Structures are given as structure tokens and as C-alpha cells.
Structure 1
């Protein structure tokens, strides 16, 4: 079998979790190759152009942007990705004509939501968000690795965190928010994490709010610009990116990886493989269950993926800028989010959201027009083939948003549909899961998969890992993976990398390249 090249690291998948780890490793002096099965980089952050309209399929705003752009600055590519800062977190439309446009910043956000209802219900809203802020404050003082003998004392000192650390959001609602209207308002943003308050991790929800309320950034030109900036860093520092190159097999000798084999039969040797691909596909498909210990496999089999998504990519000639919209607006057909969730599971559009990215960047559509990207959570199997029901599903979704933008359904200038089948074609993810594992309390943080695996030299990056879902967390998973890989390779630069890039470093010159010897005579354990 032909051996095409040897590398220090092969990265499988060019989503943000793969590109960020590859960029940091290349900048740190490692020989890196990124192999992407699709025809372009970005994963869920890629964008496409149709007839003058630019659409982001899945990512429409990034939280904790300060950290992300500090990382880009460190790599010297921040100039490739200018951005605008949205003044809003989200908008939301509820039954009975109740609407809110929630601003960024904790205090303004809380008061806007509380004033929407006023009186006793407004007080409930304030109390709920104070509980979340107490949880976040107590979490901030927890040690990364605590002595188990001190755990009881630590929990006693952090009673709010201790109460809700393994709870769904609904536990805090039950404790402090009896009003159905206040409950709905407090948790309007649950679709951003893909699971309803009765299932959604409270810690996850609190962290999501906290990072988004720092301010939502949108890269000028679409989220493709962010992916392209990381890709530019990879190649600028000597790395390679190969698109249209699906990995068929992760090669193993003994208990360690030796490289990968792609679908065209080419072998690429490496000391380390980092997979940004779907975790189940990586571990049971590309690698093979026979290389994993049974306890690890049992854990993997217990985990459940999130739902997928149905998307209508549309444009309109209506003047959306005159309506006072946030650039993303939720539409909840029912006050009870559990009822909205039941609609979702039944294959009916509910708690969908509209992303009008042209409110941030007018250049994404022709003059006088706006994009309207409508997204609804959707099951992989709605009980009927998606190709048979997609048009009626889209029609229903669009008509629903006439409540937010009057006349929208009669003023579309473009329309294209993406189903879960479409998402699977581009990502090859298990059941086209939009958020990786479902964001339940028992699948949050270290209850997701760690970056290291039982096979030496095989690492994971992306929203299947401990950081969780969202573009920001995919990127942070990348630099967590990079630090682990650098330690594995004996590269001391990993010790100098900031933990979060919360502080600015300025551009850092790349390291001198290390030319590691790869033992290409080690036998592969190839299984079919």
C-alpha cells in the first residue's frame, strides 16, 4: 500500500474544533495534515452562496468572542476576520402577541425580561436569573482538580452550585418560578442548546447565557471567514489541508495509533491522530470497537446524541431593519416549552428561530433584501421520509414567522431547504446530531468524552468532548486538545499556551519546526 507522507499529527475533520487544534499545533512547530471529507473547510461553520445570497447553515453568532479573537491574534490571522458586535442576545415571540428583544449584558438582559411581565412575575424572573448568577459565581471558585476528601466541604461552601450541579433547568423553575409565563420567558433560549428545560443541564444553560451576554459577534462576510482564518494559520505555518479526502480507517499498532488510511487507499503516517469527526463514527467506525476496553465502550453506548435540525434558507425584499428585530428571534407556539418539545419530537416545527444575518452584515444579500434563515430542531426520523414532507414542513415554518415579520411568506425572493438528511451528508454525524451529545445534566462537562482515548496517540476535539456544543466551545476544545497533544509529543510550547486566551497576548512568532521520526515499519492492525 502506498505511503504518501509522514506527519507528526493528522487531524480528521476541518470543523472549528479541527482547524483550531491544527492551527495551534502547526504554529507550535508540528507537521500537521488536516483531512476533510467535504469539499470545503468549516464543518457546521461553513457558508454557501446562492444567487448573490450568502447563508450560514448552522452558526449565526459566536459568544465569548474576546477569547476567540485573542486566539486569532496569537496566531497572527485576526486581520482576516473582522466582525461586528450585535447589541442583542436574541428576540423571542410568545403566544398572545408577547415579544421581547433581549439585549446583551446581564443587568440589561434581566431587567428587560422582568419588565416584560412586571409585578410578581417579573420578580420571579429576577430571582431565577439571580440563582443562575449565584451558580456561576460559585463555579468560578471551584478547583479544576479537587481532592475527593475535600469535596463535602467545598459543596457546603457553595450551596447553590451543590443544589443544581446535577439538575435540569426545570428544578430551579420549580423552586422559584411558579408562573407559566415567567417560566417561558426565563428559558426562551433553550433551543440554542437543543433540549427543553426538563432535560437541559442547568449548569450548561447558565454558562451559555453568561458567554452570550458578553456580546454576540458576527464575522463580516459570514462564519466562513472565521473558518478560513484558522485554515490560513494552518497553511501559513507549514500545515496541509486536504479537502474531499475522507478517512476510512485509523491505523493501530499494538495500543497506539500509527496514522490513517483514506478512502482512496493512501496511508498517512503520524504519531498522533486528532479526530474532529463524529465521536461514534471515529471510535466504532474508523478505529473499531476491538481497540477499545469494554468500560469505555459501555460509556459510549450509554450516551445519546442531540436532535438534528431542519432549515429554510430564505431571503426577502421586506425592510427588516425597520422592525427592531434582534439578528436572531425565537418563535414559541406554546407558553409551555414542554409542549413545544412534544411538537418537535412529533416532527412539527416549534420553538424555531429566525437568523437575519444581514442585520449584522448587509453585504450578505443584494441591496434592498435580507436573509431569513429559519431553523427548527427536528428528529432524525419524523415517521415519514423527509423528502416527502419537507415542503409542507417548510411552508408551515414560514407561515409561523409571519407573526414576527408580517407578510414574510408572501415576500420571499429565495427559498432552499435543508433537512437532517442534508446535514448528515455534509457532516456524517450520527443521526445528524446538531449539538453532539444531548445537553442533559448527565452529559455535561466531564460527563461528555475526554479528549484522550484509551488508544495512545488518539485524541478527540469538537462538540462531542467535555467543552460541549457551540462554535466557541468547539474552538476551546481545539486548544485543550492542542495542549494535550503537545504534551504527548514532548513539545514544551504547550506549557506556555494560555489556558483560555482570556488575556491578549499579541501575535506570537511560530516555533521552529520539529522533524520527528515516525516508525513507519511498525505493522498496522487493519480490520475490515
Structure 2
């Protein structure tokens, strides 16, 4: 008997597919395969499943570590809503965040992003009346770029011979947008740098500032939230809670505290996994949702990696940004504390986004280049039932992994006094940012805890604590190896690396992986 997600569980003698990691990509792939009649086994190295969708509890509070808002789930027939319904058997519910989903703060200047394309355009035009034509053209380009992405991503699921025949035509329109940076596209529309900063004010959702990020990732995020933001009713733990029964209904399970040491390859065919305790589990197919860097550097046998030269293409991509997150617990309900549902994006008022990042990376005592504040307890209509008289706030900022290199190899929760002192300095700076925007919460903080890139490394198994896997430069979208299929028979990839960052995109990666594995047009099946 071993520990499954919810109860003691006896391993079956046979599984159709074993999935490594329990993030959104793996969960989606597993649920779709289960609905195709497969018995699947999801292996999670930590004590709780979900990857960036999991929650943790401490001191009578609960925090969501990765989900802060999701777009498009209020539209009944949107692809993302139908996908979530499909993999949860319609059990996952969403709460609308209201009219203003993001507030961009540049020094002492505030700009609201409001839901609805017409409202979005009208509000920005009110802020920038001389730029209405540029704003309207910007919205058009966001939609144009997103239309090209469907065929680009579906090409990833095609059999190789079909991709060779038609892939160039499917990818070409997308590359016209992906080869340009966000700043290049925005600067072609306007020379108003303040407007450019506002339009790119969500860049923290994908990690790269506008002069380094590909326009397609910016367009994907902007389009995703045009209809507003939503939050899972009951918190992000409901994602695993509602998907797990779908997996179990087909005889599968999610195992926790189940670390994979190596993928077993025999004759260039994946046949199973070797666990950290030495036990070998076998299946017809193996899927890694652990990220392409971790998979190729750590999980595949070195001889196989060398044979297929798998490390060479990794030289053409970079790891995404690392971060710190301050999880705050407060006395008082969200209503008592007047906490908004709107996310705050706080930036220095003097420089453009890229210059702020460069200044900070050169001297970490300089102003944070971006501070993101989320109010999950205010977004969740079920919160007060579970945690009456309490509230939570999450604050995220950029922190380079190198700043914590001195503690590399130390144990979680036992990294020493110097580490804790460094964390406290960052925490106090983030609290000061919060109090400046929300002075009413000062004196109401009950507890707080700061996660660092080492925390992300420990829980997500990303070597440099990167939050979004691979970064989203134009070069990234030219890499053909970022797809579900690998050179190894019966071995597949899923997760944000084969699509782009974010829970919604990781959800879609599961569709691509399941489609590549089964030959079933999953998206067509879901939408019908």
C-alpha cells in the first residue's frame, strides 16, 4: 500500500500511461486519457498535487501558490471553459472578479483595465484621447496574432510526416508575429511611452519585459483577459479535487510523495519509470510534465540524451525569470479590510519596464521593477465560509536566482539565519509597497511567509527556480523540439514548455499531448 492523493492506495498491476508531475499539463493529459478509457498513474514528488495550482495551509490560513486569475471562463462556449468543464465533469466553478481585473500603477498614476473589448478600448481612450486609433489598432493586432496561434499549436500535435508536408504553412503566419518583440509592435503603433507601459503592464504574467518578450505571448495574455478575470470557487485546490474523480473513474490515481529518479528506456522505447526507492513501474506510455530542462537534464538516461543530442536544442532557449512571493495572513474579513478583487501591477514611475529591470538587476537595492498584488480571499465567494474573520494577500516580485546562490543545496526550512534575514528584508520592502497602496491593512497583518527561488526549486523541481519554465523570447517560438512527441518511442512531453506560460496554456498543452498520443481530435470532441 502506498500514499495516493487522498487515501491509502494499492498499485494496479498495469497502467496504460504514467505521467511524471501533477501540474496543469499532466492533470489535463491524464483526465483526457482517462476519458478515452485509459488507466493512468500520475506521480507527484511532493506531498500535495497540483504543481502551480496547489495550495498550502499554515497558521489557520490557506494560500494559492500559482493561480491568481483565469480569463475566458465566464463565456460558456469558450475553448478554455469547455476544456475545464470536460476534465472536471462540469464540477469546477468560477467566480467573476468584476469590471476591473487589473490596475496598472506607474508611480502615482493609475490605469484600470476593464473587461469587454469595447469597454477596454473606451477606458484606455479616455486616459489617452490622442491615441484612440493606436489603441484600436492594438486590439486588432492582438486578435490577429491569436488567430494564427491555433494552427501553430495544432501543428505540434500532427504526425511528423504531416508536419513536414504542411507545417511550414501552418507556422508561417504565426512567426510574422512571434519574431517581433512586444515593444517593436507597440512602438510601431505609437510613440507614447506611457501608453506602451500601460499596454504591456501585464508582462509579469509571462516574465519578460516588452523589449525582450515575443509579441505572441503578450497578445495571448492580453486576449485571455479581455473578457475579465475569474477565480476558482473554493480556491485553486478545487482543480485537483474535481479532476481526480475523472482519473479514478477509469481506474487511475494520483500518487504523492512519489519521486521519479529515471525514465526507463529499452531499445529506444519508454517502458516505465524507476522511482527514488528503486521500484520500477511500467506502462505502455510515459509522459513528462516536469519541464523540458528537468526532463532532459535529470530524468532521461545520459546515454539516451547523448544518442539523440537532446541537450543541443536546449542551448537555444533560456530559463524564465525567478521570483519571490510574500504570502500574508490578516485579521479581518475581505469586506472588513476593504480588499479589492482587482489585481495591482505596481511599477516605478520614472523608467520604462526594461530599464527598470536592468537597474534592479544591477543593484537589488534599487526599486523593484514590478510588484504584483493579488487578493485571493476577496476573489473567492466561498472564502468566508471556510475562514471567517480572516483574509489573505499575495505579493510577487522579480528576484534573480543568483541572489540566493549562497544557500544552494541547503534544506527547505533549514537554510540558516542569514537566509531568513535576507528574506525578511525583501518581505519588509514588499509590505511597504502594500501599505502605500492599501494603508487600511497596516496593523492587521497576522503572519507572513516569503517564498524564494529556492522554494520554487524545491517544490517544482526547476533548477533555477524559474516560474514559467522557458522564457518567451522570439527565439523560443522557433524551436521545433518544443512539442509533445520526442525522438523516443512512447515518450511524450506536456506542460507550459511545449505551449506557453500560464495555467490556461498548460491546460491546452494537455490537449496537444493527448491528441498526439491517441490520434483523437480532442479539441473537436470537447467543443462538440
Normalising by structure 1, we get a TM-score of 0.84
* Closer, same or farther: CA 500–106 of 1 in aligned 2, 3 Å: farther
Q: Do the aligned residues in 1 keep the contact of 2:313 with 2:481 (CA within 8 Å)? A: no
Alpha-carbon distance, 1:498 to partner: 2.7
1:131 matched to 2:141: yes
Match of 1:332 in 2: 347
Match for 1:284 among 276, 286, 297?
A: 297
In the alignment of these two chains, the number of paired residues is 487
Q: Do the aligned residues in 1 keep the contact of 2:495 with 2:510 (CA within 8 Å)? A: yes
Alpha-carbon distance, 1:310 to partner: 0.3
Alpha-carbon distance, 1:94 to partner: 2.8
For residues 35 and 128 of structure 1, the distance between their equivalents in structure 2, rounded to whole angstroms, comes to: 43
Q: Do the aligned residues in 1 keep the contact of 2:341 with 2:376 (CA within 8 Å)? A: no
Alpha-carbon distance, 1:49 to partner: 2.0
Match of 1:423 in 2: 456
Secondary structure of residue in 1 paired with 2:504? helix
* Closer, same or farther: CA 295–89 of 1 in aligned 2, 3 Å: farther
1:175 matched to 2:175: no
Secondary structure of residue in 2 paired with 1:94? strand
For residues 369 and 320 of structure 2, the distance between their equivalents in structure 1, rounded to whole angstroms, comes to: 16
1:443 matched to 2:476: yes
Match of 1:244 in 2: 257
Q: Do the aligned residues in 2 keep the contact of 1:449 with 1:464 (CA within 8 Å)? A: yes
For residues 76 and 96 of structure 1, the distance between their equivalents in structure 2, rounded to whole angstroms, comes to: 42
Alpha-carbon distance, 1:122 to partner: 5.1
1:380 matched to 2:412: no
Alpha-carbon distance, 1:427 to partner: 0.8
* Closer, same or farther: CA 177–387 of 1 in aligned 2, 3 Å: farther
For residues 331 and 237 of structure 2, the distance between their equivalents in structure 1, rounded to whole angstroms, comes to: 24
1:397 matched to 2:430: yes
* Closer, same or farther: CA 448–110 of 1 in aligned 2, 3 Å: farther
Alpha-carbon distance, 1:323 to partner: 5.8
1:269 matched to 2:282: yes
Unaligned runs of 5+ in 1: 488-493, 506-528
Match of 2:235 in 1: 222
Match of 1:512 in 2: none
1:82 matched to 2:93: yes
Match of 2:311 in 1: 297
Q: Which digits, 9 at most, give the CA deviation of each residue in 1:128-161, with x for residues without a partner?
A: 3343334345666889558889979997xx7xx7
Deviation >6 Å, runs of 4+: 140-143, 146-155
Please, which moves more after superposition, 96-105 or 176-185?
96-105
Secondary structure of residue in 2 paired with 1:205? helix
Normalising by structure 2, we get a TM-score of 0.84
Alignment root-mean-square deviation, CA: 3.0
Q: Which digits, 9 at most, give the CA deviation of each residue in 1:346-387, with x for residues without a partner?
A: 446331111101222154364444311001122111267454
Match of 2:379 in 1: 360
Q: Do the aligned residues in 1 keep the contact of 2:95 with 2:381 (CA within 8 Å)? A: no
1:106 matched to 2:117: yes
Q: Which digits, 9 at most, give the CA deviation of each residue in 1:255-300, with x for residues without a partner?
A: 1111011011111111210011132221221113421345542102
Q: Do the aligned residues in 1 keep the contact of 2:469 with 2:501 (CA within 8 Å)? A: yes
Alpha-carbon distance, 1:125 to partner: 3.7
Match of 2:328 in 1: 314
Unaligned runs of 5+ in 2: 1-10, 156-162, 407-418
Secondary structure of residue in 2 paired with 1:178? coil
For residues 460 and 141 of structure 1, the distance between their equivalents in structure 2, rounded to whole angstroms, comes to: 19
Q: Do the aligned residues in 2 keep the contact of 1:90 with 1:330 (CA within 8 Å)? A: no
Secondary structure of residue in 1 paired with 2:517? helix
